[in-house]
Amino acid sequence: MYNYNSQIKTFYDKKVSLPPEMRKMLLAHRKANADRLIKRLPELHPKIRIGESNFQSQGSFAMDTVVQTRFTAEEYDIDYGVVIRRSQLVNEDGSEMTAQEVRELVRAALRDKRFNRQPKLMTNCVRVFYADEDDYAHHVDIPIYREFEDDAGIRVTQLAGEEDWIRSNPTRVNEWIEDEVIDRNAQISGSGGQMRRMVKLMKRFCRSRNADSNEDWDLPNGMKLTMLISECFQWSERFDEAFHGTLSAMKNRLAWNLEIENLADKGWPKSKLTKSTADQNVLNLEGRIADALSELEVLSSDECTENQARKAWDWVFQSDGFFKELEEEAKAKKQELQKAAAILASRSAGTDRNGRIVAACATVVPNLAHSFYGEDF
């Protein structure tokens, strides 16, 4: 297989993985909402007392699988659950607050006159919008949980849904993926981290086209993709080989089963993330993976050129010219090194103020020929 590892790795570092400054800004907004709840919930409901320990990172941020968005209309999704003791969620008459009452209370506490759009109740969370305020469109989703011990003393956590409280574990998926990474690293050093990187590359592939204008690119969400990658991951130190191998394994897997299980579910049988035996977005994924593998077939040819490899990978990730720029930079660097080598070979080389090797002249420091002890005797 044509070696395009360096280019895919650089693409991952620059265009897929979240830049530190972006991550810092998103986490700052997450913390701002937590601070707002810590301060305002007791003001609105005196029985509630929460602190930083009541918040639980969830979703792709917690799993470290956030990827950069390609389209400006896409929003980054930050999940930050708040867990409140059930004993604190009671009305003045002593009755327990309903899930809807708690959701409304949290939304009221999150309101801020500085927001262009006020917080909104979603199916399983309260959403705080930042899309209009920042260069990086994003929102913070805050699921609300109540916590208590049952008659057997077992800790129970329930999510405030649209209609009622639903039993749910806010840390289960986080714990599952961390265990996956640790277990895989124990078997093959670095394979757990490589699996997580393949999740990010797969998410980038699935978001490389605008689903709003192309129904064929309406593909499964990050949770489903993470489960599929866990099932189908193929280890290789090379980024390009690992991704290609994983795509092939996913194609074979989906050929016989289009359902996707929640592998973090400790029960049996495990719960399904798909709604049917043939969800349309999973069927779409099967088709797009087949398309990608077809485009990448050229890599198996002994006569594959760099230009052919670039075009194939560019189809997969829609790099917006990134791979082409890498090639041009590499060629320019190679030409500069060849030029420097030729000057050195001519024995007329010098070093300019920037440390570059150039032809000797009055404004540069000449590079004298090497001499070794004893040569003059």
Distant-in-sequence, close-in-space partners of 102: CB < 8 Å, separation ≥ 6: 84, 89, 144, 146, 160
Domains of the chain: 18-169 (3.30.460.90), 174-304 (1.10.1410)
Look up the pTM and report it: 0.84
Distant-in-sequence, close-in-space partners of 361: CB < 8 Å, separation ≥ 6: 350
For residue 135, the number of C-alpha atoms closer than 13 Å in the C-beta half-sphere is 5
Are the C-beta atoms of 207 and 70 separated by less than 8 Å?
Answer: yes
Residue 278 in tokens: 């043939």
In this predicted model, what pLDDT tens digit does every residue of 79-89 receive, in sequence order?
Answer: 999 999 999 99
In this predicted model, what pLDDT tens digit does every residue of 28-59 receive, in sequence order?
Answer: 999 999 999 999 999 999 999 999 999 999 99
Mean pLDDT of all residues in the chain? 90
User: Using CA atoms, how far apart are residues 309 and 81, in angstroms rounded to an integer?
Assistant: 43
Supply the pLDDT for residue 70: 79
Residue in the structure block whose two tokens are 């009055």: 362
User: Using CA atoms, how far apart are residues 122 and 103, in angstroms rounded to an integer?
Assistant: 10
Is residue 377 scored above 50 in pLDDT? Answer: no
Residue 302 in tokens: 């002994």
Q: How many CB atoms lie within 10 A of CB 368?
A: 9
- Residue range 104-124: average pLDDT? 94
Are the C-beta atoms of 250 and 228 separated by less than 8 Å?
Answer: yes
- Find the DSSP H helices in 188-279: 191-206, 222-232, 239-256
Is residue 370 scored above 80 in pLDDT? Answer: no
Give SS3 for 328: helix
